[in-house]
Amino acid sequence: MSKQEKNNQVAEEKKKRFFLKVGVWVFSVLILSFWLFTLVHSFNNTTISVGQTIDADTAAWQADLNQTIDIIRNEMVDKTSVASNTPAVSQDFLEKMNANLEEQVAASETAPIVEENITDKSRATITPEELISDLQKRLPELASSSCPEFIDCMPSIGEAKPCVIPPGCENITQIAY
């Protein structure tokens, strides 16, 4: 192959690449312009149809609200004009409730008040030390060392460990993360 033929092949290859690049650019511009054209028209169509549906929905909602308000007003007018004519069932129910309430009030007035075993010290004047000693007398298991000092709740691989403080050890046991 001669030098002239090689130069011709290189020139033809450059020509082919140039036409390929131009073709890709033209095709890309055509696709982009077509997409923008349809996008603009789709937004215009959407805003028109959405505006119409919003108006229709608003009108339907307003009509429904007006109908509901009219029904409520009519029922209120009916109830105020017929307030003295309550049904016998509801009247009987109200009378039974009133009688039951009067019985409970009478029973609570006649029942003797049971005095608790209250010392001369009021509950509000007990000091915290007295309260702790009283609790230790009542709950000997709290005073003992049966509660763990801490519970290990660190994440681990394998079976999950329960991180629950035993009952009665809430103020003694701490959770370690």
pLDDT digits (tens, 9 = 90+) for 71-109: 888 887 766 555 555 555 567 777 777 787 778 777 766
Mean pLDDT of the chain: 76
Residues 11, 14, 16, 17: what is their CA dihedral angle, to the nearest 10 degrees? 180
Query: Averaged over 108-136, what is the pLDDT?
Result: 63
What local confidence, expressed as pLDDT, does residue 84 receive? 52
Examine the pLDDT at 143 and tell me if it is beyond 50.
no
The DSSP secondary structure of 94-142, one letter per residue, reads HHHHHHHHHHHHHHHHHSPPPPP---SS-GGG--HHHHHHHHHHH-HHH
Examine the pLDDT at 29 and tell me if it is beyond 90.
yes
State whether residue 117 is helix, strand or coil. Answer: coil
Rounded Cα distance, 140 and 82, in Å: 68
What local confidence, expressed as pLDDT, does residue 14 receive? 96
What local confidence, expressed as pLDDT, does residue 124 receive? 57
What local confidence, expressed as pLDDT, does residue 49 receive? 57
